Chains A and B, each alone.
Chain A
Amino acid sequence: MQCAYSCGSEEHLLARRSFLGGLAAGVAAPLVGGLGAMTRPAAAKELSSKQKRILVFYMAGGLSQLESWDPKPGTDTGGPFRAIPTSVPGMHISELLPDTAKLMHHLAIVRSLNTKNNDHGKGNVMMQTGRLQTPAAVYPHLGAVAAKSLAPVDSPLPGHIRISPGGSGGRSNDAAYLGPKYSAIVLGNGNPPQNSARPDSITVESDALRNDFRRQINDRFAQRRRTAETDAYTYNYEQAQQLMQRRQIFDVAQESEADRQRYGTYDFGRHCLLARRLLEHDITFVQVTHSNYDTHNENFNFHLEQVGEFDRAFAALVGDLADRGMLESTLIVVMSEFGRTPRINQYYGRDHWGTAWSVVLGGAGIQRGAIIGKTNENGTAVTDREVDHAHLFHTYLQAVGLDSTDTIDVGGRPMPLADPASEPIDELLA
């Protein structure tokens, strides 16, 4: 199921057009060549001894920065909510985030984002790829880059997983020229991947026999006519086999009842607990989407509802990653496609706003407790250290130990890993 955004723009529909083939039906894109500087041996040298991971929270529809990371209480744009102190002296966030406030020493806020965009679809592409959406080029999403560059070569599990609020799941098409095996596997409403259970009508023995037969035929074909496409095809089948054998890692029911209660028994709580489980099983990139923040109407009632849900489960997960020693190796990002207007409209709503908004980062490679940039008194403009999606994309990659100024070799063409016209936010990096 796709989120029903309020404004009904064309871009809202794009995600529906994603290829949702089952796991065993993967097809290859014309990927030629591989990562230059990002080849796994090179990446392995760059990485510390710990495997790096990325955990993204995608606040679909556009989280209000004023009801989260950059409150402006008592101003004409501030709305009814107050600011509360956090575990970082001098840092205040919205009162809607009381649990998160206690953990801000693990996190950092960028309050000076100006992406110059108020469109859902374009904003999604910009924040996920670090580039502008153009007809001329399609760039891989952060998750695909992470899966390609950080996931162990022998990993039996996919490196790129998205947990969506609803729908039946499937496979996304967000890897662009990196190839479909790095595209996200989407877990619809946190359910295990599609087609990952052996049908009851097929016995274990007959399943093994048919796979042996498939491998024989594949091997014979590959001896004479091996291509990148056939490799990807074979990889998808083998990954599906491995994944079917490890299907229990997607089963949140195997977590303790105490943890399930602590995270919250609602969908997003369950999805966050699943994210912890996936990260603990060395999935490289996990994205949890929380919906829906596109609050053109009754922004305050809806943020009260949504941010409250987010706060409890998010704080539980950040706290657990810290307690389990995983925060050093896990980059956390909380992003949206844009923020929301400081002006409160006639429906007590806030509209789309890419001019002055916030994201949160934390964990691996991040200067924790930092506040980067600032906005003016009532949040209508950035007044210090303006940055955009491209700066952030560089920063994500640098934070997990990659050189964001490097290139990927695609069919002999060097493709910059991140926008070459931009650079990381150095003061945000540890």
Chain B
Amino acid sequence: MQADPKQTHVAKQWKHESPLISCRFDPTGRFLFTTAEDFQIQRWDVESGEKIAFAAHDSWARGLAFLDGGETTVTGGYDGRLVWWPTSAEAPEPMRTIDAHDGWVRFAAVSPDGKLLATAGNDRLVKLWNPADGTLVRELSGHEKHVYSVYFHPGGEFLLSGDLAGDVRQWEVATGKLIRQFNAKALHTYNGGQRVDYGGVRAIALSPDGKHLACAGLHKATNPLGAVNEPLVVLFDWESQEVVRSHIAEGVKGVAWQALWHPDGTLIGASGGSGGGFLLFWKPDADKDFFRLKLPNTARDMDLHPDHLQVATVHHDRHVRISRMTAKVAG
């Protein structure tokens, strides 16, 4: 079955006891993992909605990544720790815990071959770990602000990291050498009146054809402290590093918390903020979205199911929502 973004609708939802923060499907698609403001991680059975709690972090968690084809889950928390878990255990207990960053772990990603785990933190560092034993392989320094996101190039040769200031760095994984930088400063604002830095590269993703690099976040931040801003995904030409598109959603206030590519070349964004929650759909030939789905509540993260038909979003109203990019089934 092919996805039809214009048919996207919320197919099911489950409610947690606390506002949710982030989400990821495991590689098999059986489970959806979410994190919440109650410091816990939740594993939801995608079919039944059955929920199992994972408790070990001493703060909010946001990083979610999977090892060994999904057998092991790694979570990264604002307590600076990484925790390894058995993904499908009935009563999950941590397999390993390490102090990974000085300050928050904001993002975690696993290399395509599964041999490296990358994390980004408030210590302005990107770190590469051996996921098999939790040892540090390499530390990548140079970011001048908090690092918000990391992303492995599908070829495995490069890692990309994006920070609060909109500085996106391309690193050579084998050596830790900085190859080049993408200028995504459109995603950053310094408001002199309020005296705050705001924005940041909240997600990074390369298009299936390898031609476009998407960096998600926000712009038009006329009032950072009051959440007055609009979602923006900056689209770079991978080779030339030129900005080829500024994907916007007219009339929508909020942040593009996530941007992912569907294999058919559609870029899917999830936004949340004062304008509510949206799933946004863009094609690389136009700045504006060709379709949007208004969600019942502000969205904070999103992931695409391995079947490429289901999209999960997590919300402040404590709900997980699974939207299907297919026509509604009657009855």
Contacts and interface: CB of A to CB of B under 8 A. Distances in A.
Interface residues of B, number: 33
B38 interface: yes
A346 B226 contact: no
Contacts of A347: 227, 273-274, 298
Nearest to A297: B227
B272 A346 contact: yes
A325 interface: no
Interface in A110-151: none
A5 interface: yes
Given A76-B37, A297-B224, A1 B193 contact: yes
A292 B225 contact: yes
Given A294-B225, A297-B224, A305-B196, A346 B122 contact: no
Nearest to A5: B225
Contacts of A46: none
A344 B196 contact: no
Given A2-B193, A166-B192, A297 B225 contact: yes
B19 interface: yes
Interface in A127-183: 165-166
Interface string A6-17: 111000000000
Contacts of B72: none
Contact of A4 (B18, B60, B193, B317): B193
Nearest to A294: B225
A305 B193 contact: no
A298 B198 contact: yes
Contacts of B194: 3-6, 291-292, 294
B316 to A, nearest CB: 4
Contact of B297 (A1, A297, A346): A346
B37 A344 contact: yes
Interface in B27-84: 37-39, 58-60, 78-79
A300 to B, nearest CB: 8
Instruction: Specify the main secondary structure of chain B where it touches its partner.
Output: loop
Nearest to B223: A6
A295 interface: yes
B181 interface: no
Contact of B195 (A79, A292, A298, A346): A292
A233 to B, nearest CB: 35
B300 to A, nearest CB: 8
B280 to A, nearest CB: 18
A250 interface: no
A76 B193 contact: no
Contacts of A295: 225
Interface string B297-331: 11000000000000000001100000000000000
Given A80-B59, A82-B59, A6 B226 contact: yes
Interface string A302-314: 1011100000000
25 contacts: A3-B193, A3-B194, A4-B193, A4-B223, A6-B225, A7-B226, A61-B225, A73-B58, A79-B37, A80-B59, A80-B60, A81-B59, A82-B58, A82-B79, A165-B195, A166-B192, A292-B195, A295-B225, A297-B227, A298-B224, A302-B198, A304-B122, A305-B196, A346-B298, A347-B273
7 smallest A-B Cβ distances: which pairs?
A: A6-B226, A4-B193, A297-B227, A6-B225, A346-B316, A80-B60, A80-B78
